[in-house]
Amino acid sequence: MAQIFDRSSNSLARISLVLSGIIVISLGVTLNYLQRSPWVTRQGQRADQPVPFSHRHHVQGLGLQCQYCHTSVEKSSYAGIPPTKTCINCHAQIWTNADLLAPVRNSWATGQSVVWTKVHDLPDYVYFNHSVHVNKGIGCSSCHGRVDEMPLMYQENTLQMEWCLNCHRNPAKNLRPTSQIYQMAWQGPSSSAPVWCASKDVPGVPTAQTVNCTLKDPASNGAQLAALEIPSLAGTYQVATASAGSGAVSLPAAAALHYTKFTDQDALGKYLIVQYHIRPPHELTSCDTCHR
């Protein structure tokens, strides 16, 4: 009686067994990478915008402050997208008939919004609050990257949950002096560029204002400069202080402050966690922090 199968079929059968195993595994691996890939996260993708607005030009080139456009970043959960008026403030005088700006002028004329495409788009069930991050020493660039070097805006990080947790589990590595929040180039302290901090805890006053950090050695006459860096209590915090009932606060004179020198981010981070009263990781990673 003849064989049904040819000799080669033995090797074929065994190989196919092994192969199917390999395929399954590699499929898993692929999916694992896929779920983090820019294809899913839109990381680094430049969306089509009605106007090719360049942050580099406006921030690095012209030196505009972040808050000039994103006005409510310190007050509200929502940083704010500038109204057409903000653009017109300048572009009524300069580049008044650049074709690129046609949509802006059009909007100004017709009273219709310039319809931008969201670049940093969190899922709707994630409740992110800009104000608390900015007030507690997280700088813009920590999440948004070097916006001042982006000709066209794109999403620097994945903005996936694991990325959020990454910091919520260990805030120390991203905390910086509030004076440096809008400092895109902030690198963190180093032996070459140390940071001196001093604080006097005044309850009811935004922590940011009771901690004073300076990049210049207060010992050498930087003290005055340091003092100058203390943000005023006026403006945005009026409500807070008023409702806190502790009226105006007498800030300690810079000279009176005792400064500590920091040369690495870890030490600074740990120090600021205490000073800023950052909640412990088990609270920061509690589900209700971001989901409701």
Partner 1 sequence: MPMREGIYGLIAEFDTPTELVQAAKAAYASGYRRMDCYTPYPLEEAAEAIGFDEPTEKGVARICLLGGLIGGCAMFSLESWVSIWAYPLNIAGRPLFSWPAFIVPAYEWTILFAGLSAAYGMLALNRLPAPYHPVFNAPNFRDGATTDKFFLCLEAADPKFSVSESRAFLESFRPVSVVEVDH
Partner 2 sequence: MATNDVSPQDPVTNPGKNWMIDPKTGELRVLAPGQTFRSVTEKIARIVLTSQTPLGWLFGFVMAGGLIAMLLTAVAWLFLKGTGIWAITMPVAWGFAIVNFVWWIGIGHAGTLISAILLLFKQGWRNSINRFAEAMTLFAVVCAGMFPIIHTGRPWLAIYWLFPYPNTMNVWPQFRSPLMWDVFAVSTYATISVVFWYIGLIPDLGTMRDQAKSKFAKYIYGQMSLGWRGSARHWMRYESASLLLAGLATPLVLSVHTVISFDFAVAVLPGWHTTIFPPYFVAGAIYSGFAMVLTLAIPIRKFYGLEDIITMRHLDNMAKVMLATGSIVAYGYGMEVVMAWYSASRWEYFMFWNRMFGPMGWAYWVLIACNIVTPLTTLWSRKLRQNIAYLFAISLIVNTGMWFERFVIVVTSLYRDFLPSSWGTYRATRWDYMTYVGTLGLFTFLFFLFIRLLPMIPMSEIRMMLPQAKVKHEAELQTEAGD
Partner 3 sequence: MSSNGGTGNVFEMGGSENMLHEAQDLNMAKETGSATVRAKQPEAAKQPEATQQSESAQVIEAAQARLAGMTGKRYWRSVDELAGTPEFEQALQREFPQHASEWVDPVSRRGFMKLMGASLALAGLTGCTKQPEEPIYPYVKQPEDLVLGKPVYFATAHPFPMGSVPLLVKSEAYRPIKVDGNPEHPMNHGTTDAYTQGTLLGLYDPDRSQRVLYRGENRQYANFLTDFSAMLSASSANGGESLYFLSGTVVSPTLAAQWKQAQQTYPKAKWVQYDAVNRDSARAASKAAFGEYVDAQYKLDVADIVLSLDADFLSGLWHPGFLKLAGDYAKRRKLDPGVTMNRLYVTESTPTTTGFKADHRLSLRASQMEGFAAALAAALGVGSAPAGYAWTPAQTAFLAAVAKDLKANAGKSVVIPGEQASPAVHLAAIAINQALGNVGKTVVYTETIAPMPTEQTAEIRQLADDLRAGKVDWLVILDSNPVYSAPADIEFKKALGHAKVVVHLGLYPDETAQMADWHINGAHYLEMWSDVRAYDGTVSIVQPMIDPLYGGKSAHEIVQAMLTSPDLSAYEAVRATWKPALSAKGDFDFQWRKALHDGWIADTAFAPKTAPAKIAAIPVAAAPDATAMEVIFRPDPTIYDGRYSNLGWMQELPKPVTNLSWDNAALMSIQMLSSLQAVEGDVIEITVQGRKIKAPALVVPGHPDQSISVYLGYGRRNAGRVGTGTGFDASPIRLASAQLFATGATARRTGDIYEFAITKSHYIDHRDAIARTYGDIEAAKTFKPDAAPTSLEANEAQSRGIIRYATLEEFRKNPNFAHEGENYATPSKDVTLFPNWKYNENAWALTIDMNSCTGCNACIVSCYAENNIAVVGKEEVRIGRDMQWIRIDTYFEGDLNAPRAHFQPMTCQQCENAPCEQVCPVGATVHTPEGLNAMVYNRCVGTRYCSNNCPYKVRRFNWLLFSDYETESLKLMRNPDVTVRSRGVMEKCTYCVQRISAAKIRADKENRDVRDGEIVTACQQACPTQAITFGNKNDKKSRVAQLKAQSRNYTVLADENTRPRTSYIAGVINPNPDLMENA
- 161 vs 274, which CB is nearer to partner 2? 161
Least spacing, CB of residue 12 vs partner 1, in Å: 8
Which residues, 31 to 70, sit near partner 3 by CB under 8 A?
A: 31, 34-35, 39-42, 47
Using the contact rule CB under 8 A, the part of the chain among 20-28, 102-110, 138-146, 226-234 near partner 3 is 102-110
Structural tokens at position 274 = 């205490």
Which of 7, 124, 192, 234 binds partner 3 (CB under 8 A)? It is 124
Number of residues that make up the chain: 292
Task: Give the integer Cα–Cα distance in Å for 36 and 42.
Answer: 10
* Nearest distance from C-beta of residue 17 to partner 1, angstroms: 7
**Does residue 205 touch partner 3 according to CB under 8 A?**
yes
Query: What are phi and psi for residue 140, nearest 5 degrees?
Result: -55, -50
Torsion of CA 271, 273, 276, 280, to 10 degrees: -160
Q: Hey, what amino acid is at 271?
A: Y
Distance from C-alpha of 231 to C-alpha of 177, rounded to nearest angstrom: 12
Three-class SS state of 85: helix
Indicate the residue among 242 and 256 with the shorter CB distance to partner 3: 242
Q: Rank residues 1 and 31 by Cβ distance to partner 1 and give the closer one.
A: 1
Nearest Cα residue to 176 out of 197, 158, 160, 192: 197
State the Cα–Cα distance between residues 32 and 97, nearest whole angstrom: 49
Query: Any contact of residue 243 with partner 3 (CB under 8 A)?
Result: yes
Q: Which of residues 155-174 bind partner 3 (CB under 8 A)?
A: 160-161
Print the binding letters for residues 63-102 with partner 1: x by CB under 8 A, - otherwise.
----------------------------------------
Query: Which residues within the stretch 1-60 sit at the binding site for partner 1 (CB under 8 A)?
Result: 1, 3-11, 13-14, 17
Encode 181-212: b = buried (16+ Cβ within 10 Å), e = exposed. bbebebebbeeeeebbbbbeeeeebbbbbbbb
In the shown chain, the binding pattern of residues 145 to 174 toward partner 2, with x for contact by CB under 8 A and - for none, equals -------------x-xxx--x---------
CA separation for the pair 265, 195 (Å, rounded): 10
Judged by CB under 8 A, the chain residues 4 through 63 that form the site for partner 2 are: 4-5, 10, 13, 28, 32, 35-36
Binding partner of 162, given partner 3, partner 1, partner 2, none, CB within 5-8 angstroms per partner class: partner 2
Alpha-carbon distances, residue 123 vs 48, 120, 128, 205, 269 (angstroms): 20, 10, 10, 33, 29
Element (H, E) at 214: strand 211-214
Indicate whether 116 belongs to the interface with partner 3 (CB under 8 A).
yes
**Which DSSP category does 180 fall into?**
G
Q: Whose Cβ is closer to partner 3: residue 16's or residue 113's?
A: 113
Q: How far is the CB of 129 from partner 3 (least distance, A)?
A: 4
Question: Considering beta carbons, is residue 13 or 255 the nearer one to partner 2?
Answer: 13
Chain residues binding partner 1 by CB under 8 A are 1, 3-11, 13-14, 17, 282, 285, 287
Chain residues binding partner 2 by CB under 8 A are 4-5, 10, 13, 28, 32, 35-36, 158, 160-162, 165
